[in-house]
Amino acid sequence: MTEQPTGHQPAASTRPPRTAWAAYAACALALLSAIPSFYWAAGGTIGLDTVGGAIEELARARDPAGVALGIGAGLLKVAGGVLALGLVRPWGGRVPRRLLGGVAWAASAVLALYGGLLVAVGALVLAGVIRPAGPVDRTALRWHVLVWDLWFLVWGLLLGLAAWHYGRQSRDRGAQ
């Protein structure tokens, strides 16, 4: 059965679904990423071997710098989630549009470049194309290439998509 036109057009949404899904997905990745940071800062050790290197050593030693690093990283990730939500929630309108969009673009670029570079270099090391001078924790490196750094890359791309739609929406409002 097909619906008959009623002559009444629904009000246009001020937040396109494309913007919403990308922003909500970026927020989810940000908040989920914060969980292990806070867990490890609180002294948890499950999965810490997947991080490797100096960060793992600091966390295992319960060094105050490591605890502060974990808490700081967790707080930045939560802030990234709030930033993504600000692009699609009404309370985001309290922030000047250019500021919110600019910060979202900057965060997107940092996340995508950081994650993309580390995924690419890590993959080249795992493939044997790059041979580091020192020892390589291949387990941690696999985790970085396939999970941790890839997570940053995808988060950055989603935030960038949300920021792009947010900017388009801003331009469309200005043209009306």
pLDDT tens by residue, 127-146: 999 999 999 999 999 999 99
**Amino acid identity, position 96:** P
* Higher-confidence position of 172 and 12: 172
Is the distance from CB of 61 to CB of 109 less than 8 angstroms? no
Alpha-carbon distance 158 to 21, whole Å?
9
DSSP codes joined into one string, 57-110: HHHHHT-HHHHHHHHHHHHHHHHHHHHHHHTTSGGGGGS-HHHHHHHHHHHHHH
Is residue 8 within a helix (H) or strand (E), and if so which, with residue range?
none
- Look at the block and give the residue holding tokens 């499950």: 46
| Per-residue pLDDT at 12 exceeds 50 | no
> How do residues 55-114 score in pLDDT, each as one tens digit?
899 999 998 998 999 999 999 999 999 999 999 999 999 999 999 999 999 999 999 999
Question: What is d(CA 63, CA 145) in angstroms, rounded to the nearest whole number?
Answer: 26
CA atoms within 13 A on the CB side of 35: 9
Using N-to-C axis directions, what is the helix angle for 97-126 and 64-86, rounded to 10°? 130
Whether residue 20 has pLDDT greater than 70: yes
Residue 173 confidence class, pLDDT cut points 50, 70, 90 = low
Task: Pick the closest to residue 152 from 34, 13, 60 (CA basis).
Answer: 34
